[in-house]
Structure 1
Amino acid sequence: METRERWRPRFLLPLLLQLLCGGCPRVGGCNETRMLEKLPQCGQAFADMMHTVDVWKWCHLSEFIVYYQSFTNCTEVETNVVGCYWPNPLAQGFITGIHRQFFSNCTVDKAHWEDPPDEVLIPLIVVPVLLTVAMAGLVVWRSKRAGQLL
């Protein structure tokens, strides 16, 4: 908690500047050099926050979502302050680098689906088909017989 409070004030001024200018890039265009100088501040602040989280929790977004949101906001504000749009290829490259640094070991284990063996598959198909035919036959037989009972 102490680190989080210490981190926030650094980004209030750029946020205020963004609100005052309407979040629009300046008329002079994008200063990519300045943007690449400013983005590492966001990365360092995010790194400081991530080091307060246990490494084994880095793949659980719920453990650091507040830090990641602050990082995203910071990159957006810093990019807009220097007159660039967000996201842009340079900012995306920077963000990708941060992802490689912290989340490269986070893989999504996808289930490998395969058909069951024929000994299982054939009965799973044949039994419902036979039951459907048998039930339809029973309904027809019963409907013909119902007229005889009345």
Structure 2
Amino acid sequence: QYTPSRSPLNVPLVMVIPSPGGCARVCCCNETGMLERLPRCGKAFATMMRKVDVWKWCNLSEFMVYYERFTNCTEVETIIVGCYWPNPLAQSFITGIHRQFFSNCTRNRGHWEDPPDEVLIPLIAVPVLLTVVMAGLVVWRSRRTDRLL
């Protein structure tokens, strides 16, 4: 016996099967159906992105509404076929869309290097020495207070 969860459109989302231990199991993810439905979201997103100048594709504020619709679409289409979201197949699809539209958005950043030893040693030594000095002052002050009382 199972109890189907339903979406607002009265479409079964996930079949929940009670197990002997009292925990519900989720079954019936139609991965083939999901892979057939997700491209609809990609096509709709591509249509919306044509409204944005290509040189603005790296500025999220220019197409945030479109991306939110795309994300919601992938979530709905995944859940309709009884799968959880996100899942590896949906993530792979979304990654493909990212490669298609945002592959040029990564900026070439300079190679990070450690600073020279003349800079690095004081940056490490000063906080260590200050910690030792402060701990010594606390111990010294606490012993001195005991003598005054």
TM range (shorter): 0.5 to 0.7
Q: Given residue 62 of structure 1, which amino acid in structure 2 is its aligned partner?
A: S
Q: 2:102 matched to which residue of 1?
A: 103
Q: Given residue 8 of structure 2, which amino acid in structure 1 is its aligned partner?
A: L
Offset at 1:23? 8.7
Q: Answer whether contact 2:37 2:77 (CA < 8 A) is retained.
A: yes
Q: In the aligned structure 1, how far is the partner of 2:71 from the partner of 2:7?
A: 14
Q: Answer whether contact 2:13 2:81 (CA < 8 A) is retained.
A: no
Q: Answer whether contact 1:25 1:83 (CA < 8 A) is retained.
A: yes
Q: Given residue 15 of structure 2, which amino acid in structure 1 is its aligned partner?
A: R
Q: Given residue 34 of structure 2, which amino acid in structure 1 is its aligned partner?
A: M
What is the TM-score of this pair, normalised by structure 2?
0.61
1:23/1:66 CA distance change after superposition, 3 Å = farther
Q: 2:8 matched to which residue of 1?
A: 19
Q: Answer whether contact 1:42 1:71 (CA < 8 A) is retained.
A: yes
Q: In the aligned structure 1, how far is the partner of 2:11 from the partner of 2:109?
A: 43
Structure with the largest fraction of strand: 2
Q: 1:42 matched to which residue of 2?
A: 41
Q: Given residue 79 of structure 2, which amino acid in structure 1 is its aligned partner?
A: N
Q: 2:87 matched to which residue of 1?
A: 88
Q: Answer whether contact 2:28 2:83 (CA < 8 A) is retained.
A: yes
Q: In the aligned structure 2, how far is the partner of 1:92 from the partner of 1:53?
A: 24
Q: 1:115 matched to which residue of 2?
A: 115
Instruction: Extract unaligned runs of 5+ from structure 1.
Output: 1-16, 130-150
Higher relative CO (CA 8 A, sep ≥ 6), structure 1 or 2? 1
Q: Answer whether contact 1:39 1:78 (CA < 8 A) is retained.
A: yes
Q: Percent identity?
A: 64
Q: Answer whether contact 1:26 1:83 (CA < 8 A) is retained.
A: yes
What is the TM-score of this pair, normalised by structure 1?
0.60
Q: 1:68 matched to which residue of 2?
A: 67
Structure label with greater radius of gyration: 1
Q: In the aligned structure 1, how far is the partner of 2:12 from the partner of 2:57?
A: 31
SS in 1 for 2:15: coil
Instruction: Extract unaligned runs of 5+ from structure 2.
Output: 1-5, 17-26, 127-149
Offset at 1:106? 1.0
